[in-house]
């Protein structure tokens, strides 16, 4: 539970709010004490949704649906009000983790635990189906764990099969990765019935048994495609539930069992009986449930939370979390506290602090932190807070030379798994800044600031917030990886701070709708457009084998699915194969591929697993072309595959600046500065730094702002030493002009640059 924020109400319709259980785009879920005593989970929807046509009717339907389900294994509705200004719904509070949280933190369930989980969820589904409804969104996050069994929650999109409100043709409802094929196809009225929930139950049991969804993870379209066409990855599912899971995951709805069949088949060990079920969960999860139950007992009861709070006629409380908005310190209640969430450090609070505050046992650390934030603001103003949070004042201003000063920052992995990439980009930026500062008569000075996120997404998100708080930073080069970029981009976007990525390759980054993000390389999903021409030409392939390694997640999907579609469109023979996440033996897939006539192979997966298939191909004396994408351009592939790596060809959006003629001057300068040839990604970082500096030079003195710099970069074309940079209008992606992808070949145990990749 997170502490309440200063903007949160203290009471809703007599329910005393104690903390936040979660939040999303639609609203917030609070932990609350009901007027009669029990704890409830109070789901409050944003008021603006209530103004939408038909919204209140849909919300009433959700409440009515949930109230029709009385199974012990489904969480009951306690109260609701669809007519409040901010509609709300209260359900019984279960002081246990979700299945998703428990498995992620503590590992898969045991055989007996799986049987009990499946049996009791099937009992809940049987009642849902007897009521003439379909849940539609059974997933690990909608299953709460208690000492005696699971609880099914969230009937927000449960409907009768004939209900067309949410089942119009083409509309996909539910959570990708746990959707049935009929949901994934969005076929519409009458196609999504009880068998759909049984498919989702199979997905949930597979996740509980292995810690991963049976159709992997990644982009939505990949998950939908796999649900319809691919076999599930059931490696590691215990034999005690394997057959039930396999039957639930049949593509044909008519071949799946009904809920009552699952109850009977998993009835061993009392799976369908009530009462406690000691030992059904890992000890750590049982202990967590006990700790949360104990903490819940210590929360304020109904007697010591009776605080008078005025409410408006629509039922919207005027009070805030423990104090009125009018009484909050200036600059805090309005959301200007240091950590940016209106709580001046409330993210560090504990449930006990909030409980103590609400029960009147003391001011509580949260209120003290609020007061502390007000003192900082009052004592030092903006400058005092700046110095406190950043260590020095780095706002744009004049240097000792009298010139204005601005900062370009690099965020990357400088000490983790991808440190070579991060350090190369850092040095590329530093060299560009040093060369600019060496110019005589320059209109302003530049400063390079570099931060190390260690390849950790949480650290990346924190550092992004720190860089956005530094008003002198006009743009950021980085981060180094897909995961860190995904974590950092929301903070950069909120501040409209331009961020230019040169090494992350996920197409989802460019499609994420981030306003200030510029993807300065072609994404991984476009690499097959360069691999296919190579295979048809220099590779001399007549039938192309495609290995989609599930261990490569979204990256593997992007490459394998794109080249499959390209070849199908051109009616070029191909033999696609899928390798499960846990399978370390590539022999069966290679043998099946060769038996299908493949004389070349495209591998879509990570570098460490590429070594396994490389050795397998060598053992089979496979002499055809072997190609892959950027993930293989990693020294660890060479060291793991050894002689089996020889001859592999890689398409990647990165050059060897030491041999590319246009980069000769850069390579010489880099060698003088750092005493070595420029590594991969250094020239790309140098290029985008030059692109940012050129755009900045076009801006008049009064308009050198983040927003103006972003607009200038988007509007211009920059000819760099690696390629031309021009961005699509109102998009993060580069204009595709046939350049920007290069071939690399493994020769004598090293990567050798082979020049631009063909596109036709």
Helix or strand holding residue 652 (H, E): strand 649-652
Residue-wise DSSP of 326-375: GGSPTTTTTS-STTSSSSSSGGG--HHHHHHHHHTSS-HHHHHHHHHHHH
Q: Which residues are catalytic?
A: 137
* Distance separating alpha carbons of residues 1 and 18, to the nearest angstrom: 9
Q: Which of 240, 310, 757 is nearest to 534 (CA)?
A: 757
Are 241 and 115 in contact, with CB atoms under 8 Å apart? yes
Q: Among positive and negative, which fits the CA dihedral 633, 638, 639, 640?
A: positive
Which of left, alpha, beta for 407 (phi over 0: left; psi -120 to 50: alpha)? Answer: beta
3-state secondary structure of 748: coil
Are 431 and 667 in contact, with CB atoms under 8 Å apart? no
* Distance separating alpha carbons of residues 10 and 32, to the nearest angstrom: 10
Could you give the C-alpha distances from 715 to 19, 701, 729, 730, in angstroms and in order? 47, 19, 8, 10
**3-state DSSP helix/strand/coil % of the chain, to nearest 5:** 40, 15, 40
- Would you call 522 exposed, middle or buried from its count of C-beta atoms within 10 A (0-12, 13-18, 19+)? buried
Radius of gyration over every alpha carbon of the chain, rounded to an integer in angstroms: 29
The three-point CA angle 504-507-512 to 5° equals: 100
3-state secondary structure of 144: strand
3-state secondary structure of 267: coil
* Distance separating alpha carbons of residues 374 and 344, to the nearest angstrom: 9
Q: Of how many residues is the chain composed?
A: 760
* Distance separating alpha carbons of residues 182 and 172, to the nearest angstrom: 9
């Amino acid at each position: 539970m997170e502490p309440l924020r200063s903007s949160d109400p203290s009471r809703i319709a007599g329910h005393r709010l104690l903390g936040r259980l979660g939040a999303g785009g639609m609203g917030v879920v609070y932990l609350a004490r009901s007027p009669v005593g029990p704890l409830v989970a109070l789901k409050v929807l944003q008021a603006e949704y209530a103004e939408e046509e038909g919204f209140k009717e849909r919300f009433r339907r959700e409440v009515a649906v949930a109230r029709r389900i009385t199974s012990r294994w489904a969480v009951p509705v306690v109260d609701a009000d669809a007519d409040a200004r901010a509609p709300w719904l209260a359900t019984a509070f279960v002081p246990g983790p979700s299945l998703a949280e428990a498995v992620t933190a503590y590992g898969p369930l045991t055989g007996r635990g799986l049987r009990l989980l499946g049996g009791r969820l099937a009992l809940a589904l049987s009642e849902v189906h007897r009521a003439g409804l379909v849940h539609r969104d059974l997933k690990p996050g909608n299953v709460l764990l208690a000492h005696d069994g699971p609880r099914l929650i969230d009937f927000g999109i449960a409907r009768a099969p004939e209900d067309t409100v949410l089942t119009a043709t083409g509309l996909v409802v539910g959570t990708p990765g746990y959707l049935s094929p009929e949901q994934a196809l969005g076929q519409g009225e009458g196609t999504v019935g009880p068998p759909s929930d049984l498919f989702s139950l199979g997905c949930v049991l597979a996740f509980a048994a292995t810690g991963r969804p049976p159709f992997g993870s990644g982009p939505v379209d990949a998950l939908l495609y796999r649900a319809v066409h691919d076999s599930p990855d059931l490696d590691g599912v215990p034999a005690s539930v394997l057959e039930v899971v396999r039957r639930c995951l049949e593509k044909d709805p008519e071949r799946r069992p009904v809920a009552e069949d699952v109850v009977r088949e998993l009835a061993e060990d009392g799976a369908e009986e009530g009462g406690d079920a000691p030992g059904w969960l890992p000890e750590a999860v049982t202990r967590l449930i006990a700790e949360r139950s104990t903490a819940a007992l210590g929360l304020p009861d109904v007697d010591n939370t009776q605080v008078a709070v005025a409410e408006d006629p629509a039922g919207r409380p005027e009070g805030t979390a423990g104090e009125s908005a009018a009484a909050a310190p200036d600059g805090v209640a309005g959301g200007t506290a240091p950590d940016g969430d209106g709580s001046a450090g409330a993210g560090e609070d504990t449930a006990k602090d909030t409980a103590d505050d609400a029960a009147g046992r003391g001011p509580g650390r949260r209120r003290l932190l609020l007061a502390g934030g007000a003192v900082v603001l009052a004592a030092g103003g903006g400058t005092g807070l700046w110095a406190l949070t950043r260590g020095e004042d780095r706002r744009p201003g004049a240097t000792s030379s009298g010139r204005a000063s601005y900062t370009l920052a690099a965020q990357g992995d400088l000490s983790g798994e991808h440190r070579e990439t991060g350090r190369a980009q850092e040095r590329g930026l530093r060299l560009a800044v040093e060369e600019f500062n060496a110019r005589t008569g320059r209109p302003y000075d530049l400063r390079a600031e570099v931060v190390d996120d260690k390849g950790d997404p949480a650290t990346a998100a924190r550092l992004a917030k720190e860089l956005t708080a530094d008003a002198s930073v006009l743009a950021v080069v980085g981060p180094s990886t897909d995961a860190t970029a995904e974590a950092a981009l929301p903070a950069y976007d909120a501040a409209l701070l331009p961020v230019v990525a040169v090494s992350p390759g996920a197409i989802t980054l460019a499609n994420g709708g981030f306003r200030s993000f510029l993807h300065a390389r072609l994404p991984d999903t476009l690499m097959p457009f360069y691999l296919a021409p190579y295979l048809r030409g220099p590779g001399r392939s007549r039938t192309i084998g495609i290995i989609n390694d599930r261990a490569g997640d979204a990256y593997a999907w992007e490459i394998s699915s794109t080249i499959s579609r390209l070849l199908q469109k051109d009616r070029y023979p191909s033999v696609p194969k899928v390798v499960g996440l846990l399978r370390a033996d590539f022999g069966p897939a290679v043998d099946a591929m060769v038996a299908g006539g493949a004389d070349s192979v495209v591998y879509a997966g990570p570098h460490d697993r590429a070594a396994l298939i490389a050795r397998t191909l060598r053992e089979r004396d496979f002499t055809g072309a072997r190609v892959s994408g950027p993930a293989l351009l990693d020294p660890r592939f060479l060291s793991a595959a050894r002689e089996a790596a020889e001859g592999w060809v890689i398409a990647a959006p990165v050059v060897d600046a030491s041999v590319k003629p246009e980069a000769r001057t850069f390579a010489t300068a880099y060698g003088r500065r750092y005493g070595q040839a420029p590594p991969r990604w250094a020239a790309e970082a140098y290029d985008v730094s030059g692109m940012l500096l050129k755009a900045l030079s076009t801006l008049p003195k009064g308009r050198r702002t983040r927003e103006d710099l972003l607009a200038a970069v988007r509007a211009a074309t920059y000819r760099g030493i690696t390629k031309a940079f021009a961005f699509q209008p109102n998009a993060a992606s580069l204009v595709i002009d046939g350049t920007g992808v290069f071939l690399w070949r493994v020769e004598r145990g090293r990567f050798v640059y082979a020049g631009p990749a063909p596109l036709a």
